[in-house]
Amino acid sequence: MPRHFTPKVVTANALLEGDAVWLTEDNTWTRDIREAELLTDEAHADLRLLEGQAQVHMIAGAYLADAKATTDGPAPTHFREAFRTRGPSNYAHGKQVDL
C-alpha cells in the first residue's frame, strides 16, 4: 500500500554561499523556510521539484523535505531540516554570525 503524501517544501543549497534555501511560490529562493511554498499535492510537489532542480545556476542539491503548516508559514518536521534553518554550525558564518 502506498504511503500517504505529507506536505513538503523544495529545499536546496545556494550555489555560491552554500546556505540552505527554500523555493517560494513565485519561483525564487529564500533563506527563510517560513516564506517557502508549502506543497500539499504530490504531483504538484514533483513538478515544483523539477522546476527547482532546473535552476542549476543558483542552487545545488534540490530535494523535497517534509514540512507542516503553521501560522507563520511552513516549518520543518524533521531534526535535519530544523537544523538547516539555523544555518551553519560554525558561528562565524551564515545566519548565526550575529549570535
Angstrom distances, CA of residue 40 to CA of 5, 10, 11, 33, 59: 8, 12, 15, 16, 23
| Coil/strand/helix, residue 21 | strand
- Mean per-residue pLDDT over the chain, rounded: 90
**For residue 3, what pLDDT is reported?**
83
Under 8 Å between Cβ of 12 and 61: yes
Give tens-digit pLDDT for 12-45. Answer: 999 988 899 999 999 999 999 999 999 999 999 9
- pTM recorded for the entire structure: 0.86
DSSP letters for 40-55: -SHHHHHHHHHHHHT-
Domain ranges of the chain: 10-89
